[in-house]
Amino acid sequence: MEELLEIYKRIEDLRNKGVKMKDIADKTNMPASVLSSLYSSVLPTFARSVKKGMMEEEALDYALSQVNNVSKKRLLGNLTEMKEQLLELEPVTTGNQKEIPFVRMLTEEMNHSAQEVYNYSGIYISYSLSSSSDCLKMEPYLISASENNDYVQVTHMSAYNTTHRGIGVLNNHQNAYIIFNEREAPQLALFTIYLQLPMYDYPSMLKGLYLSLDYNRNPIARRIVFVKYSDSTSMDDFIELKGGLLTEEELTPEQKVYFEYTCRGGDYIKTCTVPSPHLNGDDLEREKKMLKL
């Protein structure tokens, strides 16, 4: 079972180095959807359960019960081979690709941000409005420098306990940007958070806005609050936490403050698809009327 954790860390390392999930799936002869479920749900749930003292066999059974496309027999039967295949896989670098100025600038900012992230590193609990109900959405985030200290690594645990990994960019200690893909590869659905950075060291709270897609892939924007939970940057500490949805009746006095800030009528902007062959000014008016229904 120790090989499961080694495989998890190796996939994470490859992803951090820019290897696509499809390439990892091809190397391991595994469907991309199965590999995504393994990486984003099964393995982190297994690691978290073992950390809490659950027996490894029981932890694996529980982790597999959270998905419906990963076979226990096939997984355990291919562990050694899969580990060897992952160790053989390395990022391919090409020197003949045309340089994109914006990508170069972003890379430079990522490198610079890694030197400044110490002021904001740690585990946070985020609070925002749920997309599926009138609940306060509570989700853990881990912000830290990457293993090689060349970019800011951000790990997100969703309210449904799936993990996503992305990057953070800090700008002049005034703004921070967090970007990750919240869908399983090969789908791409960017989740972008814009945070205001306070003008003092080691803040206990950050606030801002996030932009993402709803379940129908319509853009939405909402307020979000990050509350410092711990200074730890340990993945073991992070995976012990869980996200969730809290009804107004379940909120603590502290959480009610976050609910009032993020979940009221003026705290979000929604869009929807207007059934029209041509988008024009009348359709824009129609959309706002539809959203009021």
What pLDDT, on the 0 to 100 scale, is given for residue 217? 86
Q: Do 141 and 241 reside in the same domain of the chain?
A: yes
What pLDDT, on the 0 to 100 scale, is given for residue 272? 86
What pLDDT, on the 0 to 100 scale, is given for residue 96? 52
Q: Is residue 95 part of a domain?
A: no
Which residue range forms the structural domain that includes residue 146?
Answer: 101-292
List beta partners, residue 192: 179, 211
Mapped onto helix, strand or coil, the DSSP state of residue 68 is coil
The tens digit of pLDDT for each residue in 129-173 reads: 998 888 999 999 999 998 888 899 999 999 988 889 999 999 877
Q: Do 174 and 45 reside in the same domain of the chain?
A: no
DSSP label of 266: G
- Domain boundary (31, 53, 88) is at 88
Asked whether residue 97 carries a pLDDT value surpassing 80, the answer given is: no
- Domain boundary (63, 88, 113) is at 88
What pLDDT, on the 0 to 100 scale, is given for residue 121? 95
Q: Is residue 6 part of a domain?
A: yes
Model's pTM, two decimal places? Answer: 0.72
Asked whether residue 176 carries a pLDDT value surpassing 70, the answer given is: yes
Across the chain, mean pLDDT equals 89
Q: Is residue 93 part of a domain?
A: no
- More confident call, 263 vs 292: 263
**Helix or strand (DSSP H, E) at 127:** strand 122-129
What pLDDT, on the 0 to 100 scale, is given for residue 256? 96
Asked whether residue 177 carries a pLDDT value surpassing 70, the answer given is: yes
The tens digit of pLDDT for each residue in 12-44 reads: 888 877 788 888 989 998 888 888 889 888 998
- More confident call, 137 vs 100: 137
Instruction: Compute the CA torsion angle 76, 79, 80, 82 (nearest 10 deg).
Output: 150
CA 76 – CA 83 distance, rounded (Å) = 11
- Spatial contact of 136 and 251, defined as CB atoms under 8 Å apart: yes
The tens digit of pLDDT for each residue in 208-250 reads: 999 998 888 889 999 999 999 999 999 889 989 999 999 999 9
- Domain boundary (65, 88, 111) is at 88
Q: Do 150 and 205 reside in the same domain of the chain?
A: yes
What pLDDT, on the 0 to 100 scale, is given for residue 92? 67
Q: Do 237 and 148 reside in the same domain of the chain?
A: yes
Q: Do 143 and 251 reside in the same domain of the chain?
A: yes
CA 197 – CA 194 distance, rounded (Å) = 10
Q: How many helices (H) does the chain have, and how many strands (E)?
A: 11, 10
